Amino acid sequence: MNDIHGNNGSLGHARGIGDLLDVAVGRAVPVVRALPDACLEAATPCAEFDVKTLVNHLFQVMEQFQRLAAKQDSDFTESADRVAEGPDWRERFGEEARKLVAAWSAPGAEEGTTGAMNMPAATVGSMVLLDLTVHIWDLARATGQEYVPEGEALAVVERLAGTVAELAPTARSMGVFGEAVPEPAGASAFERLLAATGRDPRWAAPVS
């Protein structure tokens, strides 16, 4: 496997998961805040999810990965409808995202192993970083918002490129990633990342 945790002087490897999650969350929360209720049933690039079910999935991910950061057991069979719990779901998403950042910023969060598969904690942290990046792009793309990583977010993309390269064979066999799709000509690093997870970087919402 590629060593995605070594210090090779690159931006994504020099920063901890908590720091990178803070950057990703800073870009994710405005996208979620701008999701209109009228688009909750809209299709997303992640074919099995519409906008509402993808938001609920991200709530589940954030809650369970807080437990994983603390080396506690997780339960991904839970599937609560957080959006239906009240009109303040956008604010609650932001609160949960900040809790996630705090959990992975805690001393020792990236050390040792965690989860039922006893994976390296740093790899598990990179997995939630991936969700809070590519799934936010899914939501943005589905609702006509721009989501182009730049500045500090390029360190997130760099870290995730190593994560996807490491996890892709297993993730594809489990149906977590789709088959890689051809990269568009002149693809950016982020577009290459999307293509590696089975997403078409030029995906457009179906015309109704």
DSSP string, 66-88: HHHHTT----TT----SGGG-TT
pLDDT in tens, 100-111: 999 999 999 999
Mean pLDDT, residues 189-205 taken together:
94
pLDDT at 208: 63
Looking at residue 34, its amino acid is: A
pLDDT at 117: 85
Mean pLDDT, residues 67-88 taken together:
94
What is the rounded CA–CA span in Å between residue 40 and residue 194? 23
The three-class DSSP label of residue 120 is strand
Strand partners, 119: 114
Q: Shortest CA distance to 20 belongs to which of 94, 105, 96?
A: 105
pLDDT at 139: 98
pTM of the model: 0.90
